[in-house]
């Protein structure tokens, strides 16, 4: 084998089910060795054996609760020290479908920890190593609720909006250092996520639910096409580009020495 062509090792969080397990399959089939991270060791081991037997790739199962500081540090250390790692898929996440005022603040904090703090720490562990080697890819699994916080639970939407902003900022900072960063914004995808979040996926209209396999294949196609932001369900990429153009058009005027004229206080009226 020509080792020069070997794409390296992908570390995937939340690989024991759903979207993460499909990434594991697809990346192994395209030649990556894998490090699979999640809490359920039995599922990770079974997946690792299955993928190795089908693809011949080396697959390591790392059982870790990413909300546990010691386990998280173990995964960070892998990203810092294992020079074979060329890709991080920040996929582990939990959701909520209930309204804010009916949600438990402890659950919201755990969601922020897993959906925001964990991918941030892992990106911080991976990025300097990738920059040092002039090569690497970070994929952040966000959600369409990053753009539609009125849907589902607002803390969940906020956590995914954070990931989108982090991705855009990292891509801006790292693109010329050989590091690719992509945010994937899935719509409703048929996984355990829905049951765990309090609403069975079967309760959703079938026309808005995508198979996890199709979602991941589209996301990897978006990566291959060089997209920073991939919205698998969006029919016309120009719609996203129009929103980006509008956002960028605001930039020159977002910070100025004086308030906008519409906020001028009429002192005569106030007296
Ligand atoms: P899923 O099947 O429930 O997968 C979630 C994964 O996260 C599991 O592998 C789970 O493994 C892992 N995980 C949860 N808590 C963890 C912890 N404390 N430590 C380590 N791993 C943990 O759901 P999914 O749909 O594939 O979700 C993957 C990502 O896609 C999430 O970030 C989610 O927000 C995002 N997303 C999903 C949808 C959708 O409609 N399904 C839409 C947009 C975005 P263990 O339980 O074994 O730890």
Determine the pLDDT at residue 5: 72
Determine the pLDDT at residue 204: 96
156 is catalytic: yes
Ligand 1 site, residue 141, Cβ cutoff 6 A: yes
Residue by residue, pLDDT tens for the chain (271 residues) are 444 579 999 999 999 999 999 999 999 999 999 999 999 999 999 999 999 999 999 999 999 999 999 999 999 999 999 999 999 999 999 999 999 999 999 999 999 999 999 999 999 999 999 999 999 999 999 999 999 999 999 999 999 999 999 999 999 999 999 999 999 999 999 999 999 998 999 999 999 999 999 999 999 999 999 999 999 999 999 999 999 999 999 999 999 999 999 999 776 666 5
Report the 10 Å Cβ neighbour count for 257. Answer: 4
Alpha-carbon distances, residue 174 vs 134, 136, 168, 219 (angstroms)? 10, 10, 10, 20
**Which atom belonging to ligand 1 lies closest to the Cα atom of 196?**
3
Sort 253 into a burial class: Cβ within 10 Å, 0-12 / 13-18 / 19+: exposed
| C-alpha of residue 238 to centroid of ligand 1, in Å | 29
Ligand 1 binding pocket mutation candidate from 21, 24, 26, 38 (most atoms within 8 A of CB): 38
Ligand 1 site, residue 19, Cβ cutoff 6 A: yes
Determine the pLDDT at residue 265: 76
Determine the pLDDT at residue 3: 45
Phi-psi region of 14 (alpha: psi -120 to 50; beta: other; left: phi over 0): left
Determine the pLDDT at residue 268: 62
Strand partners, 210: 189
The pTM for the full model equals: 0.96
| C-alpha of residue 36 to centroid of ligand 1, in Å | 13
| C-alpha of residue 132 to centroid of ligand 1, in Å | 30
Catalytic option among 23, 32, 124, 156? 156
Ligand 1 site, residue 154, Cβ cutoff 6 A: no
**Which atom belonging to ligand 1 lies closest to the Cα atom of 190?**
41
Q: How many helices and strands in the chain, by DSSP H and E?
A: 10, 9
Ligand 1 binding pocket mutation candidate from 11, 14, 115 (most atoms within 8 A of CB): 14
Alpha carbon distance 35, 58 (integer Å): 9
Determine the pLDDT at residue 271: 58
């Amino acid at each position: 084998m020509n080792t020069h062509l070997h794409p390296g090792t992908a570390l995937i969080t939340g690989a024991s089910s759903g979207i993460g397990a499909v990434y594991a399959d697809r990346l192994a089939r395209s030649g990556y060795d894998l490090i699979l991270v999640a809490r359920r060791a039995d599922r990770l081991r079974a997946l690792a054996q299955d993928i190795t037997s089908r693809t011949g790739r080396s697959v390591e199962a790392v059982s870790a609760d990413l909300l546990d500081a010691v386990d998280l540090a173990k995964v960070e250390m892998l990203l810092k020290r294992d020079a074979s790692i060329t890709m991080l898929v920040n996929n582990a996440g939990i959701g909520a479908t209930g309204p804010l005022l009916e949600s438990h603040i402890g659950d919201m904090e755990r969601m922020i920890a897993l959906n925001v703090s964990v991918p941030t720490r892992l990106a911080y562990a991976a990025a300097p190593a990738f920059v040092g080697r002039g090569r690497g890819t970070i994929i952040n699994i966000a959600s369409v609720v990053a753009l539609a916080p009125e849907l589902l639970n607002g803390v969940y939407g906020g956590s995914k909006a954070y990931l989108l902003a982090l991705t855009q900022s990292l891509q801006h900072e790292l693109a010329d250092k050989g590091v690719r960063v992509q945010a994937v914004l899935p719509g409703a995808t048929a996984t355990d996520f829905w049951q765990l979040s309090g609403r069975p996926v079967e309760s959703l209209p079938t026309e808005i639910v995508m198979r996890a396999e199709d979602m991941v294949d589209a996301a990897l196609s978006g990566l291959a096409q060089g997209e920073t932001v991939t919205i698998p369900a969006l029919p016309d990429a120009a719609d996203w580009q129009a929103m980006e153009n509008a956002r960028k058009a605001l930039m020159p005027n977002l910070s100025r020495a004086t308030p906008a004229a519409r906020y001028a206080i009429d002192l005569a009226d106030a007296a």
